[in-house]
Amino acid sequence: MAMVWILVWNLIARNAIASISIEVKPALVDFGTSGVDVSCIVNDTSLMGISVIQLKRSENNVVSVTNKTKIAWQDEALENKTGVTVNASFTNIMTSYLRLEISKTVVRYPGDMGIYQCILIATTVNGEVKRSLSQQIVLNITGFLETSTHLYSTTNHKSTELTGQKGYQENGTESFVNTDKPLLKKHLLLYRTIMIPITTFISCIFAFIIARELHLHYFVSKTTSTAKTTEKKYTNGVYIV
């Protein structure tokens, strides 16, 4: 009975301890603030050689490395980005690794979100080809909507292309012009450019007319006053004192 329990325990232990593990730091990324660091780490002492270490995101392969430390990209959009690095080492079979680092400036939303998993294809000391899967770790990205809203309100020029679903970003370089505030600002500038000279000109005309009327009124009043005074002082050729 004891031997049965020992055999069962060994079988459970062998299945529980995978030949490869995965680390994702952090599992919750703050968009624009933190980057992504994913590592596939081999931890099996029964291996004789390693053929491939493969990194997957959900149902898609991202990047892999062969026993000649040759890196092969499957995510071509990620491959061509500045700020993305891949390091790998097969120097020590028991501690071989594949590491993907994505800088905070090029993290894609929702492109880099998903379930990450590592796959190992290796040869055991018995000559058997072994395929192992790591545990699965979900990577989430938060803060994209707030960051993009702030970006639009401060620049109003170039931005990343958005899909129809709110808050989602496709990686692209196409730019567009926010047609709300810039259009209002353009109309305001046009209004000021046209209306200020017109109102100034009209004000000058009104000022001239008012000044002219005041001058005429003053001249007429003075003439009338002088005439009355003369009429009182001079009558029939005789001055009245």
Quick: pLDDT tens for 178-221: 444 566 666 667 767 787 888 888 888 888 888 888 878 777 77
Would you place residue 228 in the very low, low, confident or very high pLDDT band (cuts 50, 70, 90)? low
Q: pLDDT at position 134, please?
A: 96
Least-confidence region, from 120-134, 154-168, 216-230: 154-168
Mean pLDDT of 155-172: 40
Query: Could you give the CA distance from residue 62 to residue 78 in angstroms, rounded to a whole number?
Result: 8
Tell me how many degrees the CA angle 152-107-89 measures, rounded to the nearest 5. Answer: 165
Look at 150 and 119; give whichever has higher pLDDT: 119
Q: pLDDT at position 175, please?
A: 39
Q: pLDDT at position 13, please?
A: 38
CATH topology of domain 17-142: Immunoglobulin-like (2.60.40)
Query: Mean pLDDT for the chain?
Result: 76
Residue 170: phi and psi, rounded to 5, are: -95, 140
Q: pLDDT at position 14, please?
A: 42
Look at 235 and 10; give whichever has higher pLDDT: 235
Query: Could you give the CA distance from residue 66 to residue 84 in angstroms, rounded to a whole number?
Result: 19
Among residues of the chain, what percentage have pLDDT more than 90? 40
